[in-house]
Amino acid sequence: MHIKKNDLVVVLSGRDKGRRGKVLEVQTGRSRVIVEGVNMVKRHVRAGSDPKAPQGGIIEVAAPIHISNVRIVCKHCNQPTNLSTKRMEDGKKTRICKKCKESIDK
Ligand SMILES: [Zn+2]
């Protein structure tokens, strides 16, 4: 899995197809990600159980979507892309956009 928190991704299928957003959370064990503004669902909350709705009521939250339904968007060439990894001179791994060959971890 190449996707990390705060990456920009585009949704490939479902009702939010084509929408872009920032990854808020990666659920590695379930192969799911939560993307800002994507797959919004209404949740009923009781008063006091959620700081976003202290009075209780209905809030909209982003529900997880499967990792195969998103693709990372390169911040250099601004296109959905695949990544490869490369080991840098200092021994650290970096993720490389296969389209423009730039590191997206910079
Ligand atoms: Zn690129």
64-98, pLDDT tens digit by residue?
999 999 999 999 999 999 999 999 899 999 999 99
Domains and CATH numbers, the chain: 8-73 (2.30.30.30), 76-106 (no CATH)
- Given pLDDT bands bounded at 50, 70 and 90, which one contains residue 1? low
Q: What pTM does this model have?
A: 0.85
Task: Report how far residue 48's alpha carbon sits from residue 55's, in angstroms, rounded to the nearest whole number.
Answer: 7
Find the distance separating the first CA and the last CA of the chain, reported in whole Å: 19
Task: Collect all residues with Cβ–Cβ distance below 8 Å to 3 and sequence separation of at least 6.
Answer: 9, 23, 26, 33, 67, 70, 72
Token reading at 40: 């919004």
Token reading at 7: 């990456």
User: Looking at residues 31-45, what average pLDDT do you find?
Assistant: 96
Residue 60 sits at the vertex; the CA angle it makes with 54 and 62, to the nearest 5 degrees, is 120
- Gap from CA of 67 to ligand 1 centroid (Å): 20
Helix, coil or strand: residue 67:
helix
- Gap from CA of 59 to ligand 1 centroid (Å): 36
Which residues neighbour ligand 1 (ion) by CB within 5 Å?
A: 74, 76-77, 97, 99-100
Length of the chain equals 106
